[in-house]
Each structure stands twice: as structure tokens, then as C-alpha cells.
Amino acid sequence: MNSQQNSLLYESIQICCLCLIWYSSSAAGNVIVKELLDEFPFPLTVTLVQLLSIWILCIPLIRIRQVPPPEYLYQNRSYYFKIIIPLAIGKFLSQLSSHVSLWKVPVSFAHTIKATMPLFTVILSRIILREKQTIPVYLSLIPVIVGVIIATVTELSFDMTGFISALISTFGFSLQNIYSKKSLKDIAIHHFFLLCLLAKIGCCLFVPFWFLYDGLNIYYDTKYHRTKTFLRICAYLFIDGILHFIHNVVAFTILSLLSPLSYSIGNSAKRIVIIATSLFILRNPVTTSNVVGMSLAAFGVILYNKAKYDQRRAQQKETILPLVRSESTVNALTHEEHQVTHSNGEVTSRHHSSSFESRPSIAYGSQTFKNV
């Protein structure tokens, strides 16, 4: 009993520490990205640096963890073009749109818009996967939509480009999750290896666009030729890359330790921490109605996660119950057949014994028929 309590205590402490790192890295990363983009308005560069950091830092992590290579992908190169490359492009564009939204609007408003991800997930799941949701799932979307509308209408620093970019980013991440669920279920690949692979492909595909767009603008802007400004921006980019890598690795680790419901609630709480941290540090002006809208949207996301969890549990019970019933039916039939066979055997044996005993004895000298 003591060993079980110790293991449970250790696991609880481990999860608490990981959540603390998860929330801290995500909140600090968003604040740093906002400060960086205000001084260095090149979201494409920020996105590439983050992906490059994941690519470089994942290599020693994979070797330390001894992650096995994806043999199935090596044997089926067509999956790179059907699955991996579209996922890498989607991840890059979604991340880029997220940085554009952080550049144009406050962090709190951008993450409130991202609370609409359940809405996009439900719509895209219906279109792509033909999945129907339960009534509680649809009802949980109402506070999300109402909260986002209130936050949008009352946002003091509203910008249409940032608003649309946040919606595009949310749509892209929702589509990426659904596409992964539909296409990667038959590919045996470790999540660390997939993270590294997507970052590598994204960097290689979009580096030429960076040279043509951000690279030339940065080169011809003399403001960034100053040593102090250049070093400060490089320090921001370096810290942001490290924090982004830590956030991704810890998120995957927590996902492997917690149930889907616990992870979703933790992710919703992380969004609340990011909003509160940005309001406290960046001091962007908000109204009471704006805070009410943010809180209502976050509460709606928690309700959605609970409704989806209940839906999955009900589907699992519907899948298991027919198997249990069929097995019990088979066992009952087998038991009845055994009883019938056993009773028939007893009837047959009694029939034969009674028939032999009822026959008259026929004398063959000193012997009878029974003795013979």
C-alpha cells in the first residue's frame, strides 16, 4: 500500500511540475513573441526560427530517448507526399498565421479567438470524417461563440488583419488535427520523430520564400544593422526558439501521462494563464465586457471537452456491450448444449442398461446370455 501511495504521489508531483513548465514556457513564449514582433515585424522569420530550433534540438532528444526510426515511412515513400508534406505545410502556415495575429492584436484577444477551435473541429469533422456529435457537444459551442463575439465587439485594439489571421490559424490547426487523426492512424511513428520531421520539411520548403520576402527587407533596413539592436533581436529569437521547443516536448509528454479529458482541461487552463499573464505583463487595455467574453469562451471550451469525453465513453460502451452480449449468448448456448448432451448420455446409458436388464436369460448350458 505504501509503494502504491508513493508511486501515486510521485506521478502527481511529476504532472504538477510538467504543467508548471508547460504553462510557464507557453506564457513566456507568447509574451516574448509579442515584444519581438513589435520591434521586429517579421512573423515569417520568427516562424522559421521556431521550426529550426525544434529541428536542431529534437536530434539529440531522439538519440537520448532512443526513438526508433519510422520503418513504415522508409518503406513507403509515397506517404511523404500524401501525409507528411501536407502536414508540414499546414503546420507552418498555421504557425505563421498565429504569429501574424500576435503581431497585429493583443495576446489576450488572439487566444480568445483561438478558443473557437472546437467550433472548427466540429464542422470539419462533419465534412471530412462524417462524424455526428451529441446534443451536449453542440450546446457547449454556444458559450464559446457568444464569448468570442463579446470579446471581439468590446476589443479596444481590434485589427481586422489580426482577427482574420487568428481565425485562419485556428482553422489550420483544427484541420491539421483532423487530417492527422484520419491519415496517421496506420503509421507507426513516434511523436518526437514526427515533430522533428515536420519542422525539418517546413524549414526546407519555406526558406526560399524567406530570402525573397523577409531576408531582403531585413538586409536593406539599416535599423537592424546596429550591433545593439541586432544582438537584442537575436537574443529574443534564441529564447523564443528554446521556449517553443520546451512547450512542444512537454505538451507531448503530458499527453502521454493524462487522459484526453484531463489534457484538454489543462490546455484550456493554459490558455487562461496565457491571457492573464499577457494582461499583467503587457498591460494592454481591456474592459469588463472584454474580460467577461474571454471568460465565457474559456468556460465553453471546458464544457466542450467534457461533452466530447462523455460522447467517447458512450461510444466505447456501445462497442463493448454487443461483444459482451454475444459472448454471454455463446456461453449460454454452449452450456445448454452441454446439458442436453449430458442428459442424452444419461438417458442413453439408462436405456441400454434397462434394456439389457429386462431381457430374459437364455441358458447355454451352465451360462446365461448376460454372462456370455
Number of CB atoms found within 10 A of residue 364's CB: 10
pLDDT at 349 over 50: no
Specify the higher pLDDT residue, 65 or 342.
65
CB burial class (10 A; 0-12, 13-18, 19+) of residue 135? exposed
DSSP letter at 361 equals: P
What is the structure's pLDDT at 334? 54
Range in 56-60, 126-130, 302-306, 356-360 with the lowest mean pLDDT = 356-360
* pLDDT for 31: 93
Whether residue 199 is predicted with pLDDT greater than 80 in this model: the reply is: yes
What is the pLDDT, as a whole number, of residue 181? 62
Task: Kindly list the domain boundaries of the chain, sorted by start residue.
Answer: 32-318
CB-side neighbour CA atoms (13 Å) of 185:
6
| Confidence check: pLDDT of 98 > 60 | yes
- Give pLDDT, residue 133: 84
283-321 pLDDT tens trace: 888 888 888 998 899 888 888 888 888 888 887 777 765
Which tens digits make up the pLDDT trace of 230-281?
A: 999 999 999 999 999 999 888 878 876 776 556 767 777 888 889 888 888 9
- Which of residues 164 and 117 earns the better pLDDT score? 164
pTM of the full structure: 0.77
The tally of CA atoms less than 13 A away on the side-chain side of residue 183 is: 18
Confidence check: pLDDT of 354 > 90: no
Q: What is the pLDDT of residues 70-97, one digit of tens each?
A: 776 666 777 778 778 888 898 899 999 9
Residue ranges of E strands in 100-208: none
Q: What angle do CA 81, 84, 90 make, to 5 degrees?
A: 105
pLDDT at residue 320, rounded to an integer: 67
What's the confidence (pLDDT) of residue 372?
A: 28
3-state helix, strand, coil in the chain (%, to 5): 85, 0, 15
Whole-Å CA distances, 265 to 11, 137, 270: 18, 15, 9
Q: Could you tell me the CA-to-CA distances from 260 to 191, 255, 308 in Å, in that order?
A: 16, 7, 10
Tell me what the mean pLDDT of segment 176-202 comes to.
76
Q: Residue 193: pLDDT band by 50, 70, 90 thresholds?
A: confident
So what's the pLDDT on residue 332? Answer: 53
In this predicted structure, the answer to whether residue 41 has a pLDDT above a threshold of 50 is yes
